[in-house]
């Protein structure tokens, strides 16, 4: 039994959900998102909650049940509250700055890296003395935000010896011991 799929989604007062030809559209104060769902899954909206049901207990149907419930819940939370991710640049000389929707990274390569962000993602950069530079990303689309964060992280992944690179704030990097001295 899908335990995630059974949970009802509570809909805040400022959010509206519409279903048209297996396309769910969620509108809220932060924006509008839409997701196509499988015809096997049916969606019922009543007194401030949204419930997804499935016709049978086949493996494929059970997995789609939980998937679409999670996707719709992420859409509801996104358009009402939004999502926020913070990335940290760990390393000597690593810098970041933004000019509108363009972010410029200096990550120890011979050239700077420029990244054009989609209009749905808001960016803020912080650089304070004696602290690692931060990139704060906000969006109402959780999937897009995760994709942008993964792209930024791929520029310089955290390495296990010194921990240098681009990482999420609070992320724990497994460290390795370096070379040990030879015993001759």
- Give the pLDDT confidence of 51-107 residue by residue, as tens digits: 999 999 899 998 999 999 999 999 999 999 999 999 999 999 999 999 999 999 999
**Per-residue pLDDT reduced to its tens digit, 17-49:** 999 999 999 999 999 999 999 999 999 998 889
Q: Specify the pLDDT at position 13.
A: 92
Q: How much is the average pLDDT of 121-143?
A: 94
SS (H, E, C) the chain: CCHHHHCCEECCCCCEEEEECCEEEEECCCCEEEEECCCCCEEEEECCEEEEECCCCCHHHHHHHHHHHHHHHHHHHHHHCCEEEEEEEECCCCEEEEECCEEEEECCCCCCEEEECCCCCEEEEECCCCCCCEEEEEECCHHHHHHHHHHHHHCCCCCCCCCCEEEECCCCCCCCCCCCCCCC
The partner residues of 83 in beta bridges, in order of sequence, read 139
pLDDT at 2 > cutoff 60: no
Quick one: pLDDT band at residue 183, thresholds 50, 70, 90?
A: low
Structure confidence at residue 179 as a pLDDT band (50, 70, 90): confident
Q: What is the pLDDT, as a whole number, of residue 1?
A: 47
The model carries a pTM of: 0.88
Q: Are strands 32-36 and 16-20 parallel, antiparallel or unpaired?
A: unpaired
From the CA atom positions of the chain, what is the Rg in Å?
A: 21
pLDDT score of 27: 94
| Domains annotated on the chain, with CATH | 3-80 (3.90.930.12), 83-168 (3.90.930.12)
Residue 3: which pLDDT band, with cuts at 50, 70 and 90? confident
């Amino acid at each position: 039994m899908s335990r995630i799929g059974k949970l009802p989604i509570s809909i805040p007062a400022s959010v509206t959900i519409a279903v048209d030809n297996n396309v769910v559209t969620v509108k809220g104060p932060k924006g509008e998102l839409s997701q196509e769902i499988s015809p096997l899954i049916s969606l019922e909206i009543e007194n401030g909650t949204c419930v997804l049901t499935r016709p049978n207990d086949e493996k494929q149907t059970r997995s789609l049940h939980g998937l679409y419930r999670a996707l719709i819940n992420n859409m509801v939370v996104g358009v009402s509250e939004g999502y926020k991710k913070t990335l940290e640049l760990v390393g000597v000389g690593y810098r970041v700055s933004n000019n509108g929707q363009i972010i410029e990274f200096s990550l120890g390569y011979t050239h700077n890296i420029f990244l054009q962000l989609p209009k749905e993602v808001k960016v803020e950069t912080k650089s304070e003395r004696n602290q690692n530079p931060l990139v704060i990303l906000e969006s109402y689309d959780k999937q897009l935000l995760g994709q942008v964060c993964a792209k930024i992280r791929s520029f310089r992944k955290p390495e296990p010896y010194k921990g240098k690179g681009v990482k999420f704030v609070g992320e724990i990097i497994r460290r390795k011991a370096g070379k040990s001295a030879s015993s001759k």
